[in-house]
Amino acid sequence: MLAQSAGGTDFWRWVPHPEVWLLVGGVTVLYVYAVRVIGPKAVPAGTPAVTTNQKRWFGLGIVLLWLAADWPMHDIGEQYLYSVHMLQHTLLTFVIPPVLLMATPEWLARLVLGTGRVNTWVQRLARPVPAAVIFNSLQLALHWGVIVNTSSTNGIFHYAVHTTIVLAAFLLWIPVCGPLPERRISALSAMLYLFITSIVPTVPSGWLIFAEGAVYSVYDIPDRLWNISVTADQQAAGAIMKIGAGVYLWVIIAVMFFRWSFAQQRQAAEERHERQARAAALRAAEDAVDEGGESDLTWDQVEAAFRDHPAPR
């Protein structure tokens, strides 16, 4: 591998992260064990423990988690380029949590949450208002200079910050695409919810784009990867927040809108066809009465007409 060096700094020096390997491997083993051993006992006989799509979502989530948490993204983002750090946080908060939630079957989510305090707190916090307030407050706080500089120099604080924001991100996404039906909100509410969430990053992004000089001292280093200046790096980080995260959420909103619109059209068409079928059945019953010379329409005749003229599918 070619290494770009400046002033004795090897930007591409490989750094092992066994804690990341343990996390990724542990999550994978637990998921496979749950699906193969616990799942068949938790679902009705003949029903698959997970769907094919859930398996695909899990595979994608694990790959993205490894990419975001391991070398080189982790090391470049923490030591050299704040824009890469911002890309890492975007993956950890806006991409990986919803992907892993869609990979989780309902029975597994109920098993993990249990019936104790964890489940109680999730029920309290994984609602639109508290989840949005917690997540977006943390998003704004994480751009405070003290937190950014300390996170890049203190390993324990760094992992605590990442753990906190990822847990908050899961709370944020549970009402949108969580595995528990009773915790999900309607499509229109979810679209509004995500739109409001997409507005919050514009505050720190504008600050980064128009800031003069280095905002974070930890990234104001003489050795520059790819000769990217500290100002250009900050501007790129702001653009990732504003354009990357914002557009990503807007795309999700657009997909949800079109799905909701098509579902409304299908429902309207089905109701229209059902009304037409009922009208045709009533006309057929009336014709049968006229042919039989009877003056009153009986319930048996109406039922027979409905059986002869079922609603189209």
Instruction: Output the 3-class SS for 230-241.
Output: HHHHHHHHHHHH
Please tell me whether residues 255 and 277 are part of one structural domain. Answer: no
Residue 4 has what pLDDT?
41
Output the DSSP codes for 85-109. HHHHHHIIIIIHHHHHHHTS-HHHH
Residue 3 lies in a domain: no
Please tell me whether residues 255 and 278 are part of one structural domain. Answer: no
Residue 281 lies in a domain: yes
Q: The pTM is what?
A: 0.85
Residue 57 lies in a domain: yes
Instruction: Please calculate the CA angle 56-59-60 and round it to the nearest 5 degrees.
Output: 85
Please tell me whether residues 279 and 179 are part of one structural domain. Answer: no
Residue 278 has what pLDDT?
77
Regions in the chain scoring below 70 on pLDDT: 1-9, 285-306, 308-313
Please tell me whether residues 243 and 277 are part of one structural domain. Answer: no
Q: How many domains does the chain have?
A: 2
Please tell me whether residues 177 and 284 are part of one structural domain. Answer: no
Please tell me whether residues 193 and 278 are part of one structural domain. Answer: no
Residue 19 lies in a domain: yes
Residue 185 lies in a domain: yes
Please tell me whether residues 230 and 145 are part of one structural domain. Answer: yes
Please tell me whether residues 54 and 181 are part of one structural domain. Answer: yes
Residue-range definition of the domain harbouring residue 256: 9-266
Please tell me whether residues 183 and 212 are part of one structural domain. Answer: yes
Instruction: Report residue 91: phi and psi, to 5°.
Output: -65, -40
Please tell me whether residues 224 and 142 are part of one structural domain. Answer: yes
Residue 282 lies in a domain: yes
Pairing of strands 9-10, 5-6: antiparallel
Residue 65: Cβ within 10 Å count:
22
Residue 166 lies in a domain: yes
Please tell me whether residues 293 and 225 are part of one structural domain. Answer: no
Please tell me whether residues 164 and 291 are part of one structural domain. Answer: no
Residue 2 lies in a domain: no
Residue 89 has what pLDDT?
95
pLDDT tens for 222-278 read 888 888 999 999 999 999 998 888 899 999 999 999 999 999 898 888 888 888 877
